[in-house]
Each structure stands twice: as C-alpha cells, then as structure tokens.
Homo-oligomer: A and B are copies of this chain.
Amino acid sequence: MSYFTGLRCVHCGREYNPDEVEYFCPACGYHDGILDAQYDYESLRKVLNHASLAANPDLSMWRYLPLLPVQDESSIPDLHVGWTPLYDAPRLAAELGVALCWVKDEGRNPTASFKDRASAIGVVRALEQRAERITCASTGNAASSLAGFAAAAGIPTTIFVPARAPEAKIAQLLVYGAQVFCVQGTYDEAWELCMQASAEFGWYNRNCAINPYLIEGKKTVTLELIEQCATVTPGSYPDWVVVSVGDGCTIAGAWKGLREMHLLGLLPRLPRLLGVQADGCQPFVTAWRTHTALAPCNADTLADSIAVGHPRNFRKAMDAVLESHGAFVAVSDQEILDSIPLLARKAGVFGEPAGVAGVAGIQRALASGIILRSESVAIIMTGNGLKDIQSAIRSAGRAISIRPEMEEIRNAVGEPIAV
C-alpha cells in the first residue's frame, strides 16, 4: 500500500490531488511548475523501519512501495529493476585517497542503466491512467529503458530521436518494438514534436522534464544505497554521495531518497552531494560558482548521458546540492576516459563515460579541498560500459601483438602490467 497523498508545486506551493493534474502545475506552466509527490511520512514511519525492511523479501525497487506513487500494484511490470549491487571498494578508496568508497552499480538494471528506475514508474503510471501508448524524446538511456519496460508491460511506445542519433542506440529501441520517429532536425525539434503528439493523441508523456512521477523512481537508488550500507559496511554511511549531472533530475532524485531515509530515522545524518559535470557542458558548475541563474550553454563532451546544455530540472538539482552543503565540479573528457579503466580495475565495474565521471569528480574535489581524505564517498555508477564501446576502446590501451611463438611471450612478460 502506498502513502502517496498528492502533488505539490515546487514554485507556488499549490497542492493537487493525483487525479486533478498529471504533469505540471497549471498555474505556473511547465517551465516553473514542477510538481513534487507528497507522502504521509507520519504513518510511513510505522511501516518503513529497520525491522520491516529486514523482513521484506522483495529485493527490487518495489520494496519501497509505501514510499512510491503507485495506486495499482498489478500495473508493476515483471522486469526485475533495482536492488543493484553496492560494493565496498577498498582498492579504489586507496587509489583515490579517501577513507571509504562505495560503488552502486546501476549498469546491472534490465536495460543496463539507472534510467530503468524512472521508466518503470512511468510505465506503471501510464497503465494506471489506461494510456494506450507512451512517448518520449531521447536517444539515450531514457529511451531504451522506456522501450524495455513498455515491452515487458505490453504497452506500445513512440520515441522521437533527432536525425544525428547513432544507429546502435536506435537499434535497441527497435528491438524492443518501439515505433521510432527519426526527426530531420535538432533534439529540441524532436522534443517539441513529442510534446505536441502527446497532447494531440493522448499518449502518456515520459519526458522527465515535465513528468513528476519519474523522480520518484529515481529516488529509490539512494533508498537502497542507505539500506545496503548497513549490510555492506555496518555502522558506516557516506559523507558524500557522488552523482553525474545532466538535466538535474537524477541528483534531485538522489537527494529526495536521502532526505526520506533521514526523515524515517533510517539514516543518522545527511551526506553532502557532489554533482559532477563535464568541462564541455557545465551549466550547474558555473551557476553554483558564481551564484547566478542558469545560463544555458552548448554541450561538448563525449559523456553523452550528461551532455545537457539546458537542464530542465535546474532548480530542483541546484536546491538539492545547496541544501546538502555540497558542491559541483567539472572534469575533462580525458579524466572521464581515464576513470573507465580505473573503476574497472579497482572495483570490477565497467561503466559508460557519464557513469564513471563521478570517479574523476572525486579526484577533482579532493584536489580542491572540497572532499577531505578522511571522508567517505559513494558513487552512483549510472550506466553500463557496454552502452558505449567506442569510449571504452579509447580509454583502454592496446593489446600486445605477437607471433605465435613462446619466445614472444617470454620477452613480453617482463613488462609491467596494470591491475
């Protein structure tokens, strides 16, 4: 049973019944009127506690059902999402120079990224609303996760991608049976068409920028993180939670999960948030450093999942980092590439560029005195390295070419090998 009570506009504070409004506050419009799901936390404290969680056999994101806006449990697709592994990675901690380092491997989700948590709840909501089709505009993990969860639930999808989208990413959508419109134009044009089509045909809209339910799925990553810490490293919780930042929705979700665990008495003190961006696309870093409003910018980074020049959830994400007394840092593409083998070799986790950016971000934050060497860090590794093999190739060094003779091996084994 859910303790979801309604939606509240983060701009004007108006509250809405879930049946009154679906996407944004009509009074404030969709740029400002982001809605935030509300719960009856007083009652939740009685049902979500150490004992009830320890006794809960559901090892998926749905174990937090009381804290999710789900009205009809029968709508939950049968695709195992969440409860991804949390690793205590002492060799990575030593390499980075921090007291403790956890890695939450979100690449282990059904379509191999963190976005599965958001798509799962989007599909549930669409089914509850008896939608006949779901739509979104994206070329990345949001699209593939929507396609995967919609296929599992048996509901059709229409996905809008800009013409420059790589063939491989489109292939995954088509495999899952999505109808894919390749728009001869920019991403913004694809997004605009998606919005119009959603309105005209009544398709359920999974765009995270305007759909308040998706962040509720995203927050489950930190609900799990905190609960898993108690098993993996009893008594220890992170001083910092490290998240790469694109449109801002992920870090805002991470913060909501942390605040809720704290509110429920399951986390003794709140960590700080480190938001990590790429040098070539750092609107959050700029605004945070200069205490200014968002100035949209171009996006020039190989970390495509965080290449968002105009973040749609700027306010929620900035508020989260400020409220946590955290920080934003930016890292170079080369530092991101270097983080791929570092994370794989020291923690056994193979990530895509945006997924590993947090590793580089910790190094940057240590160097500038933002994170202290006595502190502990938890990295949300958002996507599987198999999603971007080209970057892996660029990051990984070279094989040793030899003739098929033992002498060649004898000569080579003297060489230093990195592990």
Contact = CB atoms under 8 A, between A and B. Distances in A.
A51 interface: no
Given A77-B348, A393-B167, A409 B148 contact: no
8 contacts: A151-B346, A171-B396, A172-B385, A176-B345, A180-B399, A181-B412, A183-B404, A184-B402
Most buried by B among A151, A189, A415: A151
A155 interface: yes
Contact of A154 (B161, B172, B399, B419): B419
A46 interface: no
Contacts of A397: 174
Contacts of A179: 400, 412, 415, 417
Given A174-B399, A350-B175, A393-B168, A108 B108 contact: yes
A380 B172 CA distance: 21
A151 B419 CA distance: 7
A168 B389 contact: yes
Interface residues of A, number: 85
Contacts of A404: 183-185, 189-190, 192-193
Given A185-B404, A403-B184, A176 B350 contact: yes
Contact of A393 (B79, B171, B389, B415): B171
Interface in A385-401: 385-387, 389, 392-393, 395-401
Nearest to A109: B108
Contacts of A418: 177
Contact of A156 (B111, B389, B398, B419): B419
A31 B207 CA distance: 58
Interface in A328-384: 340-341, 344-348, 350, 384
A149 B348 contact: yes
A54 to B, nearest CB: 10
B111 A350 contact: yes
A197 interface: yes
A158 B347 CA distance: 19
Number of copies: 2
B161 A399 contact: yes
B181 A400 contact: yes
Given A78-B88, A156-B417, A170-B399, 17 more contacts: A79-B348, A148-B344, A158-B413, A174-B341, A174-B397, A175-B340, A175-B392, A176-B348, A177-B341, A177-B344, A177-B417, A177-B419, A179-B412, A179-B415, A184-B402, A193-B404, A386-B387
- Which 10 pairs across A and B sit closest by C-beta, in order of nearness? A152-B348, A174-B396, A386-B386, A80-B85, A180-B399, A185-B404, A177-B345, A189-B404, A182-B399, A171-B393
Contacts of A409: 181, 193, 197
A129 interface: no
A392 B176 CA distance: 10
Given A151-B348, A389-B171, A184 B401 contact: yes
A398 B183 contact: no
A49 interface: no
Contacts of A417: 156, 177, 179
A360 to B, nearest CB: 15
B399 A148 contact: no
A398 B172 contact: no
